[in-house]
Structure 1
Amino acid sequence: MTENSIAYCGLLCGLCHPEGDCNCKFENHCSKQSSARGCFQYNCCSSKNLNGCWECTESPCGIDMHTLDNVKIRAFIRCIKEDGLEKFISYIENNMGQGLVYHRHGFTGDYDLETEDAVLELLRHGKIK
């Protein structure tokens, strides 16, 4: 897994694609398939020449409702911002090795928890206190 595996919003698109890269970064897949306004994170990050929301000084900006409503996305961005991208990737890879699943049922997996702190605890320690 690399930075190219992680979407601008912090989701792990590379886990679902055989090439291991995020289609959003290379084909603007989200913008093509979502509403007429496209993907907020793609549009914002590409206009600011950022690799993801975690690089933005205004993050979390709270402008996009998808990010505001998704605890996992907010926690992933926060983790990358606080711990760095390499550490975030190591958390995900270590947790996968311990049996944690990103997508268990459809798009829902082990990281889909009630609070950001619970997701961060799971990311950083592979368990919830």
Structure 2
Amino acid sequence: MRRELRIARCGLACCLCSENIKCSGCNSGECPDKEWCENRKCSIKKDITACYLCKEECHKGLLNKIKPYGFTLFIKRYGIEELLDCLDRNEKNGVVYHREGINGDYDDFDNVEELISFIKSGIQ
């Protein structure tokens, strides 16, 4: 885990992304998706650094996917450091962020509360 890359504006875990060799995270200004990312544009417009700092309930852009939405909701409840600690522990215990392509163990949920429970426990 490259903890220094932290969490993207939308809630994706840049710190665990298998593409982080080409990307320094969305806040670096070097993100390859910065031109089309709806979450980046919206958070910049609202003058906040991430969607988890927004007071609105939102499913725009990547927040319509379970993983970034669940990570964002987790941060709102427990804080970013707690999420990073859980992701680090889970990775060390064999939880996979990206299996093939961009899907991994955190994508195997239909219910956000079950995902949040998995993040906290590392057990499905």
TM-score by length of 2: 0.84
In structure 1, the residue matched to 2:76 is 81
Partner deviation per Cα, 1:79-120 (whole Å, 9 max, x = no partner): 011000000000100101111010011111010122111211
Distance in 1 of aligned mates of 2:96 and 2:118: 11
Q: Which amino acid in 2 is paired with 1:48?
A: K
1:125 to 105, 109, 121: 121
Partner deviation per Cα, 1:7-39 (whole Å, 9 max, x = no partner): 1101012323138841x222243133xxxxx21
Q: Which has the higher mean CA deviation after the structures are superposed, 46-55 or 87-96? A: 46-55
Runs of 4+ aligned residues of structure 1 deviating over 4 Å after TM superposition are: none
Give the unaligned 5+ runs of structure 2.
none
Q: How many residues align?
A: 118
In structure 2, the residue matched to 1:104 is 99
Instruction: Tell me the SS of whatever aligns to 2:11.
Output: coil
1:61 to 58, 71, 75: 58
> Judging changes above 3 Å, is the alpha-carbon distance between structure 1 residues 115 and 98 closer, same or farther for their aligned structure 2 residues?
same
Distance in 2 of aligned mates of 1:72 and 1:47: 23
Q: Which amino acid in 2 is paired with 1:47?
A: K
Give the unaligned 5+ runs of structure 1.
33-37
Higher normalized contact order (CA 8 Å, seq sep 6+, divided by chain length)? 2
Q: Tell me the C-alpha RMSD between the 2 structures.
A: 1.9
Instruction: Tell me the SS of whatever aligns to 1:78.
Output: helix
Residue 43 (str. 1) matches residue 46 (str. 2): no
In structure 1, the residue matched to 2:88 is 93
